[in-house]
Amino acid sequence: MNNSHHSTNHYFVKTAGLLSIFSGIILTGILFYAIIVLNSLGLTFKIFEERPSFIGWLEKNHVAYSILWIQYAFSAIIMLPVPNASSHVLHHSGSRSSSLIKITHIIGSCGFLIVLASSIFLYASSPVIARSHASDMQHSVLLIEIFESLGLNFRLTGELMIGIWLLGLAAYRIKKNRVDNFGWFLVFSFLCIVVITTAKAVGFFDFEPVLMVILAATYIWVGISIRKKVS
């Protein structure tokens, strides 16, 4: 019975690690999709900031814009088992603070759920905004301000919670009198998430593409790390 349970956990962790790697690859793909595909369709930071221009662009290209959020939602949904898998690895490696392990994996799971919800919300709202453009521009601008603001704040909150989970992982990677490169990279990822999400929320600067690169690298490294732990 114990061997069967151990085998199930082993398979679960290995699968979650693979999903984490895949999610990192998807995030990289999203960045290229935004830079190459959406940019070729005329979407720039300047157009995105000018709401009437963006609504006009969205009316013609809402399918392409919706695909962006489908990809983002998919990258979040396949990360849902990863925090739980990482907690299995920490238990297996003899970590003593089981309550802290549970808290960090719950926070991480909730973070991915919030990012998933925000992506679905933005995916669903884009055709609504595009259709409203034909009838009333002022109404469309108001709609996009509400939808984009809600979606953005949910997404940033989710990413911040993911950062807390990564910091929890870092606490177990960085051991006394020993340098752990991955552990310190997780700390670096957490700090970047805090700085970039806070700056984006208050409108100070927008380095979210940089954050996507960092998260992509982190997810891939997390996936490789937890798969190695059960090899």
| pLDDT range class, residue 183, cuts 50, 70, 90 | confident
DSSP letter for 41, please: T
What average pLDDT is seen over the chain?
A: 86
Rounded-to-integer distance, Cα 230 and Cα 221, Å: 15
- Terminal CA-CA length for the chain: 21
- Please answer whether residues 69 and 126 qualify as being in contact, where contact means their C-beta atoms are separated by less than 8 angstroms: yes
pLDDT of residue 1: 46
- Cα of 70 vs its chain's centroid, Å: 13
Rounded-to-integer distance, Cα 67 and Cα 97, Å: 41
pLDDT of residue 6: 56
pLDDT of residue 136: 64
- Please answer whether residues 27 and 216 qualify as being in contact, where contact means their C-beta atoms are separated by less than 8 angstroms: yes
Query: Per residue in 80-135, pLDDT tens?
Result: 999 999 887 776 555 555 677 788 889 999 999 999 999 999 998 888 777 766 56
pLDDT of residue 24: 97
Rounded-to-integer distance, Cα 23 and Cα 37, Å: 20
Q: Give, in order, the Cα–Cα distances in Å from 214 to each of 43, 103, 175, 191, 229.
A: 23, 23, 23, 11, 22
Rounded-to-integer distance, Cα 215 and Cα 83, Å: 14
pLDDT of residue 53: 84
Query: Per residue in 128-180, pLDDT tens?
Result: 777 766 566 677 778 778 888 898 999 999 999 999 999 988 887 776 446 67
Entry pTM = 0.89
Rounded-to-integer distance, Cα 190 and Cα 170, Å: 9
Query: Per residue in 31-48, pLDDT tens?
Result: 999 999 999 999 888 887
pLDDT of residue 32: 95
Task: Map out the domains of the chain as residue ranges.
Answer: 2-229
**What is the average pLDDT across 48-67?**
86
Tell me which of 168 and 24 has the higher pLDDT. Answer: 24
Tell me which of 48 and 18 has the higher pLDDT. Answer: 18
* Cβ-defined contacts of 37-42 (< 8 Å, 24+): 37/64, 38/64, 38/65, 38/68
Rounded-to-integer distance, Cα 137 and Cα 142, Å: 9
| pLDDT range class, residue 210, cuts 50, 70, 90 | very high
| pLDDT range class, residue 26, cuts 50, 70, 90 | very high
Q: Which residues of 171-207 are buried (b: 16+ CB within 10 A; e: fewer)?
A: bbbeeeeeeeebbebbbebbebbeebbeebeeeeeeb
Give the type of residue at 146.
Answer: I
pLDDT of residue 21: 97
DSSP letter for 43, please: -
